[in-house]
Homo-oligomer: A and B are copies of this chain.
Amino acid sequence: MTTTKKVGRPKKFNRDDALMAAVNIFWAKGYDGASMKDLTLGMGINGPSLYAEFGDKRGLYLQAIDKYVNNGASAPLVALEQEDDIEKAVGAFFLAAIDYSTKHQGGARGCFLASCVSTSAGEVEGARELLKKAVEATDTRIAERFEREKRRGNLPTDFPSKERARLLFDLRQGLVFRARAGLPGESLVENIEDRVQMILDC
């Protein structure tokens, strides 16, 4: 699709790229720790443009959270959903989580939601609601993946999908916390197979 010609000075920045850059800055420094200077420099966009496009600092933050939830954070879920073999799928979920929390291109470790957004829960209006929503949505998607496997006959009909979904989610939280604390990736991948069995056992 060709870009429609538009009156006025052309924008110098790409919205999605700028927003991704904002995610990385907030992920490294947190909401309060990231200054407008950090953000304008990192996003390659100056003050008035940032305010025109994203509203204010809080607006940018909430949009950055949405961006993260629908991109980076969904990689483990996508891995779980796309791998056909359920054991490999659960393993892929863990490995994707370890991957984004130890080596994503922005450089910050851990999980943006757990390590940074949770600090602002209760402080930045809207942050806790987005956090709660993300937890519940992830639980639901994981449970749905297990339900699909039950329908296929690969898991027993009495397999407790909701409980195991929460279990998988909680284990991932431990891993990403360790990553943020600086523990090496290798120590995180130990025992993944045991944990896969634990998730899927009846």
Contact = CB atoms under 8 A, between A and B. Distances in A.
Contact of A198 (B108, B169, B198): B198
Interface string A102-128: 000000111000111011111100001
Copy number in the complex reads 2
A182 interface: yes
A173 interface: yes
A61 B172 CA distance: 28
Contacts of A172: 174
A171 B191 CA distance: 14
Interface SS of A by simple majority: helix
Interface stretch (A25-33, A45-53, A78-86, A143-151): A25-33
Contacts of A190: 163
Contacts of A191: 163, 166-167
